A and B are shown apart, each in its own frame.
Chain A
């Protein structure tokens, strides 16, 4: 018998409390009035009796109560393995849970873990059966229950360290399931791991039935020194029409000793670009910023490697860089003013993530091809462009384009195209007399305004609105913003795969002063990003993530089947028509995954993934 929290046994000293109380209570000063003490006076006083314990049974019960409470806090338990062994012999059903998570690659952890697993196998009797379960984030029954020790040892020898995180819950549940199915009475699970703290969330709810025993073999080492590259960030800038990238790598030192002059190397497409020296204090983080380099083509592989230690897996960070694709806009205005779209075009010329490619044209001159290959069309205080008629704008929207209608004096909308506008435009409302209007309601749950949700993230009420167009929406339209008098300021309608948003005032200085407010630029950027379905490019994923390749292939011209080459060289074929789980790819390895069209020549990888690994602690 042992205790899980033996420190609580110190509480046994509290047994002295009832004894003291027992004695102190007897000694306390009480004065009792009595008519006459003439008889008492004749009897000699015996003070020694005060210090004697009188109610032994009561005292013992009190002490026993305290002892039991203390023992309960100390959480006693009995080694059931010992008990089971003592109860009887016979065959055993053993499940060996071998941790193959990435942290097991630290130093000699993995070799010691395998030695421990082999020792368990060698300890099996002739009638014993064992199952080998390899686990990291998930658990896999590597070798089903067998008495063949040779096969078990071969399976242990063939196992290797993975890139996954540690999770004990699935492994223990699998062990419980295997042992529950067994008809053998003596059932044991042996967990071999370095026992990463992060592997146990406390909510696994694993319950082993009575009679099953779980023993643990820890291969953790007290030395936890480890240098890791947990993150890499990229700063993009345009220079002479080319995109230049500045890579900044984060470093973390988990050890007790400072790391001085650690070489940190940036590699692009297999070429070492630059090596910097970094010094990281113990249990601290640092960063290294490399010089800018020009991004020459799509899907450029890169990696940052920092020093070398007992866990090399987290010393390198892989990524893939692709040139940022600008969001292309066509702004159509009335052409009456030369600076009619000045505010919009200036605001959109500033963006970097993404950059915006803006073309401005007047409604009378715009051609149907002006909407081709555009992500967003902005009708800025203009009549409905003739080139957009005849279903041009409708088709543009249905294939995923975005339409922003900014109303003003010149805005007209033909009844035949009413389905493209989120609502029916009415007369102009003049708020110049008296107090001007302002934005009174914003739908912060909408992606456009979500970034302004936090306090002090944008003061929309500072903008004054002097005129706006009345708008009558349908129930299916979504109201994004209202003015202080309740009139609609912005509304959205989904048309096919596209999105159309109407802004009932202007986005310049004619009907409102929002163009000179700090909120203007982020608002315009958010509107365009949303309408363009913009998603920032992902340069890396973490091991364990699942990627839906089918969803990512939508909209691409290439409809052939895919072949996925994993970092270990395994080739996985995927059908382009695959639905559901067929198009899903689980990223289990650290390194570069290549996704190629079936039958195509080797092409640059489309994505690279890495994971962060924590060393033993």
Chain B
């Protein structure tokens, strides 16, 4: 524990959060090809406890895998095959554009995102998955390739992440078609996508009172705003936007979760992971 705290970025792996979500698993919904045994289903048979099928014995098969009960019934040699469990690559894509430095009532959005990414990376690393990190704004800022040994590097990179430049994705993030266009390539490669939409409570309820000039963190544009005059419209628009995103992502079998930075992360993450586990059984 001492050594992990000394590690840069170790603060993102909060024991309080892990205490709540540590027993959960982050499993890939798809079959993945890994090199070692893990928790994910592999496209081939392996040495798991999950029975898959029988096949006829061929020369060279290990005779220990012959199902003697079937031989007794059929007088033929059949070999039992088990589903293979393997590991996979988990990459955390973290938005580090300027809008992520926003903080009104809770922690800054970037820090909250780092907590989410670090927790997920920890879970993956604990289940022997390879973890990596990509931070981006308008471009890729840093890239940590997935590796079983890169967990510390991921944390270190998160620690160094600074929201300095405007991002390109935030703009499409609010334009649903563009969002999907940006994400689809990832989906096409057979990846299992989980989208965490980190929002500050101020972004949701627009709880400002005094008329002021509002500056767009991404563009730097300033607009005089009388909050009381548009708060109702704003709230309805943001809710409609979230609802639309939820719908669109669901259509593409992408998990989409809104994280409110005012909420404790352990509760939000537990809620998501437990529901994902529950849905995995259904699927």
Contacts and interface: CB of A to CB of B under 8 A. Distances in A.
A476 interface: no
Q: Among the interface residues B174, B200, B208, B211, which one has the most CB atoms of the partner chain A within 10 A?
A: B211
A264 B43 CA distance: 138
Given A45-B224, A45-B225, A46-B229, A40 B99 contact: no
Given A37-B221, A40-B223, A45-B225, A32 B215 contact: yes
Contact of B109 (A32, A35, A38, A42): A35
Interface string A19-30: 000000111011
12 contacts: A32-B208, A32-B212, A33-B217, A34-B217, A35-B102, A35-B217, A36-B203, A36-B217, A36-B218, A45-B226, A49-B211, A49-B229
Contacts of A39: 233-234, 237-238, 241
A453 interface: no
B230 interface: yes
Sorted nearest first, the 9 A-B pairs with minimum C-beta distance are A35-B99, A30-B212, A43-B230, A37-B216, A35-B102, A39-B237, A34-B214, A46-B229, A31-B213
A41 interface: yes
B228 interface: yes
A36 B174 CA distance: 9
B62 interface: no
A45 B214 CA distance: 12
Nearest to B209: A54
A35 B212 contact: no
A27 B224 CA distance: 11
Interface of B: 99-100, 102, 109, 170-171, 174, 200, 202-203, 208, 210-218, 221-226, 228-230, 233-234, 237-238, 241
Interface of A: 25-27, 29-43, 45-47, 49-50, 54
A35 B226 contact: no
A33 B218 CA distance: 10
Nearest to B202: A34
B197 to A, nearest CB: 12
Contacts of B225: 37, 40, 45
Contacts of A27: 211
Contacts of B233: 39, 43
Nearest to A25: B210
Contacts of A46: 226, 229
Contacts of B234: 39-40, 43
A40 B226 CA distance: 10
Nearest to B218: A36
A47 B210 CA distance: 13
Nearest to B102: A35
A348 B21 CA distance: 117
A37 B214 contact: yes
A31 B174 contact: no
A39 to B, nearest CB: 5
Contact of A26 (B100, B211, B229, B241): B211
What's the dominant secondary structure at chain B's contact region? mixed
Contacts of A25: 210
Contacts of B217: 33-36
B213 A29 contact: yes
B174 A26 contact: no
Contacts of B228: 49, 54
A130 B228 CA distance: 71
B175 to A, nearest CB: 8
A392 B20 CA distance: 121
B174 to A, nearest CB: 5
A557 B210 CA distance: 100
Given A31-B212, A36-B203, A46-B226, 14 more contacts: A25-B210, A30-B210, A31-B213, A31-B215, A32-B212, A34-B217, A35-B99, A35-B170, A35-B217, A36-B216, A38-B174, A40-B230, A42-B237, A46-B229
A35 to B, nearest CB: 4
A49 B218 CA distance: 28
Contacts of B208: 32
B283 to A, nearest CB: 34
A30 B218 CA distance: 18
A485 to B, nearest CB: 84
A30 to B, nearest CB: 4
Contacts of A47: 224, 226
A329 to B, nearest CB: 95
B165 to A, nearest CB: 14
Nearest to B222: A31
A210 to B, nearest CB: 50
Contact of A35 (B203, B211, B230, B237): B203
A34 B215 contact: yes
B200 to A, nearest CB: 7
A45 B215 contact: no
A556 B109 CA distance: 110
A35 B224 contact: no
A41 B237 CA distance: 12
Nearest to A26: B211
Contacts of A49: 211, 226, 228-229
A23 to B, nearest CB: 11
A26 B99 CA distance: 26
B218 A35 contact: yes
A35 B213 CA distance: 13
Contacts of A45: 223-226
A30 B99 CA distance: 19
Contacts of B230: 40, 43
Contacts of A43: 229-230, 233-234
Contacts of B203: 34-36
A50 to B, nearest CB: 6
B200 A35 contact: yes
A34 B224 contact: no
A32 B102 CA distance: 10
B223 A50 contact: no
B240 to A, nearest CB: 10
A31 B210 CA distance: 11
B99 A36 contact: yes
Contacts of A26: 210-211
A47 B217 CA distance: 23
Nearest to A39: B237
A42 B234 CA distance: 9
Nearest to B221: A37
Interface-centre pick from A35, A38, A46 (highest chain B CB count, 10 A): A35
B215 A33 contact: yes
A49 B212 CA distance: 12
A49 B227 CA distance: 10
A578 B202 CA distance: 99
A47 to B, nearest CB: 7
A600 B212 CA distance: 104
A32 B214 contact: yes
Contacts of A34: 102, 202-203, 214-217
Contact of A32 (B174, B213, B226): B213
A560 B234 CA distance: 113
Nearest to B203: A35
Nearest to B230: A43
Contact of A41 (B99, B202, B223): B223
A29 B213 CA distance: 7
Nearest to A34: B214
A50 B213 CA distance: 12
A37 B109 CA distance: 16
A250 to B, nearest CB: 73
